Homo-oligomer: A and B are copies of this chain.
């Protein structure tokens, strides 16, 4: 099992490269290599990956203790883990839950997340700083480092439910099994290797109108069973149960 906030893979970005196979890094990653991994100069190695690219290892070449910078030689040897063939459409949760849901979905390999408005989404959630570009990146990179992945997901936000469902949703459904988790449904969810689009309602659920609109535009309602789960538990459970 992974370590909380674990860097199971040191992420290198193109801006870190000083030569094609040599990176210079500082800051949070410098401290991690020094204090957690405790790599030694010229002999220490750790798992690494190029953001958006391959994975392999990084060898510590030299450390500038004063500047808190280090140089690493990079060896890319393999592809990152395969993505989960699933789009997650979720009613925007409260900020704390948003971060947990985002982390769970991204570590599980979801590469396309769409957070949408719904009747029971508190309007104030749309002004939370957690959905800003910078905060988002600060969630996404550690999630990739946790999972050992390099490929950033696409994270989108749609503040208007009806235009999204009527104008964009049908095209996204094409070629995908599209399911909406709904306590009122009678069909139980089953695993399948087919690409998936999973729609998750807000606290208190989608309204009957919202479920009907999703279903009229390509979704099928499924139940999770008799137990009601927090969104951050329901997302990993549904993804694990549905992606066969």
User: Is A44 in the interface zone, CB < 8 Å from B?
Assistant: no
Say whether, besides A236-B237, A240-B236, A240-B240, A94 and B4 are in contact (CB < 8 Å): yes
Stretch of A27-35, A143-151, A164-172 at the chain-chain interface: A143-151
Chain B contacts of A181 at CB under 8 A?
1
User: What mask results when residues 6 to 36 of chain A are scored 1 for a CB within 8 Å of chain B, else 0?
Assistant: 1010000000000000000000000000000
Stretch of A68-76, A129-137, A155-163, A202-210 at the chain-chain interface: A202-210
Among B3, B191, B227, contact of A148 (Cβ-Cβ < 8 Å): B227
Tell me if B81 and A233 are in contact (CB < 8 A).
no
Say whether, besides A3-B203, A3-B204, A103 and B233 are in contact (CB < 8 Å): yes
Tell me if A233 and B104 are in contact (CB < 8 A).
yes
User: Is A218 in the interface zone, CB < 8 Å from B?
Assistant: no
**CB closest chain-B residue, reference A182:** B1
Say whether, besides A97-B4, A181-B1, A203-B3, A103 and B237 are in contact (CB < 8 Å): no
Tell me if A230 and B103 are in contact (CB < 8 A).
yes
**CB closest chain-B residue, reference A9:** B228
Tell me if B237 and A108 are in contact (CB < 8 A).
yes
User: Is A49 in the interface zone, CB < 8 Å from B?
Assistant: no
**CB closest chain-B residue, reference A239:** B237
Chain B contacts of A97 at CB under 8 A?
4
Chain B contacts of A108 at CB under 8 A?
227, 229, 233, 237
Copies held by the complex: 2
Of A227, A238, A241, most buried by chain B (CB within 10 Å of CB) is A227
Chain B contacts of A241 at CB under 8 A?
240-241
Q: Report Cα–Cα, A109/B149, bound state, in Å.
A: 31
User: Is A175 in the interface zone, CB < 8 Å from B?
Assistant: no
Question: Shortest beta-carbon distance, A223 to chain B, in Å?
Answer: 11
User: Is A231 in the interface zone, CB < 8 Å from B?
Assistant: yes
Among B148, B225, B226, B229, contact of A228 (Cβ-Cβ < 8 Å): B148
Which A residues fall within an 8 A CB radius of B? 1-4, 6, 8, 81-82, 93-94, 97, 103-104, 107-109, 146-149, 181, 183, 191, 200-205, 225-231, 233-234, 236-241
Instruction: Report 16 cross-chain contacts, Cβ distance below 8 Å, ordered by A residue.
Output: A1-B200, A1-B203, A1-B228, A1-B229, A4-B230, A4-B231, A6-B228, A81-B225, A107-B227, A107-B233, A108-B229, A108-B237, A149-B227, A240-B240, A240-B241, A241-B241
